[in-house]
Amino acid sequence: MYIPTFDDVKTARERVTPYIHKTPVLTSTFMNELTGAELFFKCENFQKAGAFKVRGASNAVFGLSDDVAAKGVATHSSGNHALSLSYAAGRRGIPCHVVMPRTAPQAKKDAVIGYGGIITECEPSTSSREAVFADVQAATGADFVHPYNDPRVIAGQATCSLELLEQTGGLDAVVAPIGGGGMISGTCLALSNVAPDVKIYAAEPKNADDAYRSFKAGHIIADDAPDTVADGLKVPLKDLTWHFVSNHVEDILIATEEEIVDAMKLIWKRMKIVMEPSSAVPLATIIKNKDLFAGKRVGVIITGGNVDLDKLP
């Protein structure tokens, strides 16, 4: 297992800059009064392909040698990594093979196809997606870019927190959603090097709290096909993300489905931005744990904006 270093992050930043947006950081008087903290929302919902995942995907795609790249890339994904890898592959002009659950939002499938991705469907469970993926990879010889358990992907995601830190001029804490742990691992990798005093909290749906239970148990616990409105956060930790989570995360905070939906509505209504239910989990946990964040400068990562507008919770 290769653990990415801060040098990898610096390389990634230079490599991905032409292909991504430097997304804005929004603040809200209402949200500050509600929570008692000073919140800085890093708006990756405005990112290319609609999510932070384009950072890691672009780092992987543009780091390939020409002969490896020629066979294309492949992945399995609950959605945003699929969009992002398709986008990055399209920018490089190479094929992108995507295994997606047949139950993934139609909006996400359409967007993958729109970016030129080639979809093979699987059942909505981790075991099925891994089996179908093995077939696709064997048939194409494409380079596997895992949605999160990949040092290239984690180094790419790390560029998000670097930007956030520069844009805010310093923070006491960062809260990001946790599914497989790619964004959190990137945050750990970046901040443990440039701002080791910043506390890193992961926010997770109670209905898919495998990372929370792993963190408390001290080893990875993986569930098959948990059910939550935060559909980007259903996947389990893997060895590489577990390394960062177990070494650098201060705590994992959980929120119920109702708390997540309430936080999402509050963001839509008061901040006027469209974001996914997954992106509302950090605010839900901050509202629930006010004492932890009161008086602090807190970065909140709005991870993506790809929501099916016809199927809002």
Q: Can you tell me which of 14, 24, 134, 227 binds a copy of itself, judged by CB under 8 A? A: 24
Give which of 305, 302, 28, 13 is closest to 177, Cα–Cα.
Answer: 302
Contacts with a copy of itself by CB under 8 A: the residue count is: 16
Nearer to a copy of itself, 24 or 141 (CB): 24
DSSP 3-state of 256: coil
Q: What angle do CA 178, 77, 281 make, to 5 degrees?
A: 25
**Cβ proximity of 220 and 156 under 8 Å:** no
Phi, psi of 173 (to 5 degrees): -155, 155
284 near a copy of itself, judged by CB under 8 A: no
CB of 265 to a copy of itself, least distance (A): 6
Residues within window 247-266 making contact with a copy of itself, judged by CB under 8 A: 265
61 near a copy of itself, judged by CB under 8 A: no
CB of 288 to a copy of itself, least distance (A): 22
Stretch that binds a copy of itself, among 69-77, 173-181, 195-203, 268-276 (CB under 8 A): 268-276
Stretch that binds a copy of itself, among 141-149, 197-205, 250-258, 271-279 (CB under 8 A): 271-279
38-43 vs 199-205, strand pairing mode: unpaired
- DSSP codes joined into one string, 122-184: E-SSHHHHHHHHHHHHHHH-PEE--SSSSHHHHHHHHHHHHHHHHHHT--SEEEEE-SSSHHH
CB of 274 to a copy of itself, least distance (A): 4
34 near a copy of itself, judged by CB under 8 A: no
**Cβ proximity of 177 and 282 under 8 Å:** yes
The 88-127 contact track toward a copy of itself, x by CB under 8 A, reads -------------------x--------------------
Q: Can you tell me which of 38, 206, 273, 297 binds a copy of itself, judged by CB under 8 A? A: 273
CB of 109 to a copy of itself, least distance (A): 14
Q: What is the DSSP letter of 241?
A: H
Stretch that binds a copy of itself, among 43-51, 69-77, 238-246, 287-295 (CB under 8 A): 43-51
268 near a copy of itself, judged by CB under 8 A: yes
CB of 66 to a copy of itself, least distance (A): 26
The answer to whether the Cα torsion of 162, 163, 168, 173 is positive or negative is negative
Tokens of 101: 């659950």
- CB neighbour list of residue 138: distance below 8 Å, 6 or more residues apart: none
**Cβ proximity of 159 and 55 under 8 Å:** yes
269 near a copy of itself, judged by CB under 8 A: yes
Residues making contact with a copy of itself (CB under 8 A)? 24, 26, 45-46, 50, 107, 265, 268-269, 271-275, 305, 309
